[in-house]
Amino acid sequence: MNSLPIDMNKLTVNLLDRMNKYVSKYSIKQWDLGATASTDSSVQVDHGIAKQLKGSQRSSVTIRVWNNQGLVGITSTSDLSDAGLQKSVHGAYEASLFGNPNESPQFSELCKAPLPKLERPLKKLLGIQNILEILIEAESSLLSTHKSISSVPYNGISESNYQRIYINSEGANRSLNNTQASLYLYARAEELRKKPRSSGSVRLALGVEDLDIDGCILEASKRTISHLNYIPIRTDKYLVCFTPEAILELISSFSSMFNARAVIDGVSLSERDSIGKKISSPIFSLCDNALHPSNIGATSFDGEGTPTQNITIIESGRIKNFLHSEATARSFGVKPTGHAGMGAKASVSPDWFEIGRSKEHKNKTNNLNHRNSNEEFVLIESLNALHSGVKASQGSFSLPFDGWLVRNGETISIEAATVAGDIIQVLNNIVEIEMDSIVTHSGISPHVWVDGLSITGEA
């Protein structure tokens, strides 16, 4: 299923002309529209046999209108015909009559500002048959890497061509057209009189032909095999080293700390006056770098048409910025940051976290050298049950994890264990951030070391 190039200018002009015609019937002076369309293919396999094949072409439009009292109504539809669009405009107008006067977003002051340039060349979609053959071969290669790897129960390869549009009654006109592909392989290994062990790997690229398939196979195999020999761990407090994937998972789970919408709603650990307050070790730095070249899913504007950017959230251990929509930025007296969805009460969400050392510690040599010492520590590879084990508004977490105990230079897989703590204590107990950053599918980070974390072993 190869998608044809879409003339985005023609599409936006068509939507704009139709919207102007329909809104005039209800004397609507202010409106905006967000539209998405995508062509998607995905496959899964089981021992060389196709397990699930999916192909879809989807489109949707979200319309907001403001009535004469300034109240907002919103509707969404997948019917882009004249009748469907007109019905949605009418529905949004009817909804505006019941709008919440305490939640009245406006157009972003940056909705017509110049957009950042993204170097994201479009890639050809290969189609279901071709990506199926690629995945079958990848599964076979992974199974052959070790005799104990018996299956790859979770696997998949997908490709997508997607388009986004934002237009409004004041002349804002945003559009983008991107392609993206992903591969994940999660292997299962079994040995006699031992528990099955599993691990996996993920890769993203602009197109299937750019996926690091061999790297994904090698990493999934290496991680799975490393868990074959395991031991129980005693319950205690440990020095913990988080892999880049694991620390990004943890920070993302508590992103409400930097979310202005959550702050206003009272469901964040932060408050309005938290800007400038110490929240972590002074060596810690956190950015939301939506435009990083390795961010495959990068977009140049958010759901309100605000340009995306690289924004510093924590620097030298202190909160420097919150993430904002138009409404939250207006409430705080700042500019929107490009993190909004579209809604009568716009959501705010991060794009792509980048963790590193603060500026004054960027080039300082760390004398601790935990990795090269004989000190005992726990290396956490990935965190599980994030949906149920994190209480973001309270700052606490208790999460099963996959990882290893490192003792006297020997690395041994941990049979089963849970890491628990408070996110503020974790951030303040960071004792080392390694120099080398690693790009993952969800962000970029070095290995991060935290002292005194509670690990509960299997009873």
User: Do the domain assignments include residue 205?
Assistant: yes
- What pLDDT does 369 receive? 60
Beta-bridged to residue 444, according to DSSP, are 354, 439
User: Do the domain assignments include residue 269?
Assistant: yes
Beta-bridged to residue 412, according to DSSP, are 405
CA distances from 251 to 75, 141, 302, 309, 413 (A): 33, 34, 22, 19, 24
CA distances from 189 to 139, 218, 381 (A): 14, 14, 17
User: Do the domain assignments include residue 70?
Assistant: yes
Q: Which of 310, 342, 361 is the last residue of a domain?
A: 361
Whether residues 45 and 145 fall in one domain: yes
Q: What is the pLDDT of residues 273-315, one digit of tens each?
A: 999 999 999 999 999 999 999 999 999 999 999 999 999 999 9
Q: Report whether 136 contacts 45 (CB < 8 A).
A: yes
Whether residues 355 and 290 fall in one domain: yes
CATH of the domain at 78: 3.30.2290.10
Q: Report whether 325 contacts 304 (CB < 8 A).
A: yes
Domain count for the chain, please give it.
3
Task: Provide CB contacts within 8 A for 16, sequence distance 6+.
Answer: 167, 173
Q: Are strands 353-357 and 443-445 parallel, antiparallel or unpaired?
A: parallel
Q: Which of 324, 345, 361 is the last residue of a domain?
A: 361
Whether residues 114 and 156 fall in one domain: yes
Q: What is the pLDDT of residues 314-371, one digit of tens each?
A: 999 999 999 999 999 999 999 999 999 998 899 999 999 999 999 888 776 655 566 6
Whether residues 389 and 355 fall in one domain: no
- What pLDDT does 3 receive? 44
CA distances from 124 to 42, 181, 184 (A): 15, 10, 20
User: Do the domain assignments include residue 150?
Assistant: yes
Q: What is the pLDDT of residues 224-281, one digit of tens each?
A: 999 999 999 999 999 999 999 999 999 999 999 999 999 999 999 999 999 999 999 9
Q: Report whether 172 contacts 184 (CB < 8 A).
A: no
Q: Is the pLDDT of residue 5 over 50?
A: no
Report the chain's mean pLDDT, rounded to a whole number: 93
Q: Report whether 181 contacts 206 (CB < 8 A).
A: yes
Beta-bridged to residue 397, according to DSSP, are 390, 421
CA distance 382 to 400: 9
Whether residues 198 and 270 fall in one domain: no
User: Do the domain assignments include residue 345?
Assistant: yes
Whether residues 326 and 445 fall in one domain: no
- What pLDDT does 12 receive? 81
Q: What is the pLDDT of residues 105-120, one digit of tens each?
A: 999 999 999 999 998 9
Angle 177-181-182 from CA coordinates, rounded to 5°: 145
Whether residues 328 and 316 fall in one domain: yes
User: Do the domain assignments include residue 2?
Assistant: no
- What pLDDT does 373 receive? 64
* Model pTM score: 0.92
Whether residues 410 and 320 fall in one domain: no
Range of the structural domain that residue 56 is part of: 8-223
Whether residues 319 and 415 fall in one domain: no
Q: Are strands 448-457 and 236-242 parallel, antiparallel or unpaired?
A: antiparallel
User: Do the domain assignments include residue 421?
Assistant: yes
Which strands sit side by side in the sheet containing 318-319, from one edge to the other? 318-319, 310-315, 284-289, 353-357, 443-445, 438-439
Q: Are strands 443-445 and 30-46 parallel, antiparallel or unpaired?
A: unpaired
Q: Which of 344, 361, 378 is the last residue of a domain?
A: 361
Whether residues 418 and 342 fall in one domain: no
Whether residues 339 and 305 fall in one domain: yes
- What pLDDT does 372 receive? 62
User: Do the domain assignments include residue 1?
Assistant: no
Whether residues 54 and 86 fall in one domain: yes
Q: What is the pLDDT of residues 196-221, one digit of tens each?
A: 999 999 999 999 999 999 999 999 99
Q: Is the pLDDT of residue 395 over 80?
A: yes
